[in-house]
Amino acid sequence: MSNVIRINACLYSRMGYGRSRNTADFYMNGRFVSEPGLDNIQASLENRGSDYLFTVAENMDNAADASTNVVINKEVARLHEKITAHGGDITSKTRELSSCIGDASRLLESILEMNHTPREDDRWRVGFSGLLLADGCAVAATVGKGHAYLMREETFIPLARESTKREKLVRLGVLTEKDAERKDLVIPEENEENPEEAESPVILSEPMPFCEHDTFLLISQGVFESLGEERLEDILAAGGESVDLSGKIVAEAMKRTTQGDLTAMVVQIEKIYDIQGAARRPMLKSRVDALSKTPAVTYKYNRKPKARDNVLFAGLFALTVVVVLAILYILISSFFPGSGRPKAAATAKPSVADMAAPTASPAVVEATPIAAETATPVPTPVATAIPAESQTYIVQKKDTMSGIVKKFYNDISLIDALAAYNNISDPAKLQPGDILKIPPVESLK
């Protein structure tokens, strides 16, 4: 009975410099189907379950011949459905994975040989790396130029490096790489239990129990050539979310010269739920149907720095500041009316002295006409004689208090008196549109 685990995974894939298309394919637990023409891809997945399968492949999509074409994602999808439906332990699932990937790899190689493809052609740069999480264990698989790693706490562990005694002897320096490729060379005790494994191109790691916070990395050959294992170890040791780690790996690889495409997938185990001793609810649907209900992968194509987001944020911030200042101005004006335009004199209540003052008509004083101070015609009629009764006057553009007093009373000394009569504290702050009350001259003396 498997534990339930919560994982998050993210992949970045970028087409290498000087290449016509991105040859990388990947599979994220049953939801991604390879689409042509996607040169720059970001995909993320966060899910909770018991079994997971992740793969990264390179040059394993051959559609030259419709009768013999091999699409690695389709093969992996069939395999995942098969091992999910049939169940079994980690050993049987690993055997199925090795058989499926090995058959696909050999078929691709035979197609290239039949088509007389030159060895220097990039299609011979086949690479595959896979990660199977099941029954509380992790198994990595690689073919050709594929690479898989594990970062556990502060330990960086290469996975699926050696599966045959030939490779171990090469690493130890007993055999050269050229001698190891000789099929006529007999290596004692090599695959005595299962001779078929000697010809399998798939390298499998031993099943190892996984732990919380384990971080797995699957990369293409282009990333490996650009950064090397030491730099990859430094990046993973720095820690972070899967989206940050995969993005940083590809971003650094793009700054360096490489011949291949750049693909990096990071899979992190966030939480392990131990339900081995708890009773499970009856399954209402088959395991294959449950697999199809896995949350969909999210994709972002041609990802670029989002400078427009910064511009939008700055615009919204500036608009907010303007609105706040406008509200403050309105509030200040309402609490301190003297700081703005004076109130209309028409709303002021007349004093007792004004109401008791006689309304005798004052003598008319002859005065020479005064030229208008404004070039714009004044719509309100201008009085040419001292008013005998109270009247109102609408202040026009470029009007001054001295001009209004001279116009109605021909006596500039009445400026302060007229301002006080209209409750104006500062005659210099007269504004167009203000309404002035023009009383008889006796009311101002």
**Topology of domain 4-163+202-304, per CATH?**
Phosphatase 2c; domain 1 (3.60.40)
What is the band of 57 on the pLDDT scale with cuts at 50, 70, 90?
confident
Edge-to-edge strand ranges of the sheet holding 298-301 = 155-159, 147-152, 215-219, 262-273, 4-14, 41-49, 298-301
In this predicted structure, what is the pLDDT of residue 321? 93
In this predicted structure, what is the pLDDT of residue 303? 43
In this predicted structure, which of 79-83, 217-221, 257-261, 403-407 has the lowest mean pLDDT? 257-261
Domain positions in the chain: 4-163+202-304, 351-444
In this predicted structure, what is the pLDDT of residue 28? 85
* Torsion of Cα atoms, 438 then 441 then 444 then 445, to 10°: 180
Average confidence (pLDDT) over 65-83: 74
In this predicted structure, what is the pLDDT of residue 41? 75
Rounded Cα gap, residues 132 and 267, in angstroms: 11
pLDDT at 17 > cutoff 80 = no
The model carries a pTM of 0.56
Q: Say which residues have a Cβ less than 8 Å from residue 337's Cβ, sequence separation at least 6.
A: 343
Do β-strands 61-62 and 391-394 pair in parallel, antiparallel, or remain unpaired? unpaired
pLDDT at 178 > cutoff 70 = yes
**142: which 2 tokens?**
């690689």
Structural contact between residues 243 and 10, judged by C-beta atoms closer than 8 angstroms: yes
From the CB of residue 444, how many other CB atoms can be counted at a distance below 10 Å? 18
Average confidence (pLDDT) over 54-76: 73
User: 351-444 architecture in CATH?
Assistant: Roll (3.10)
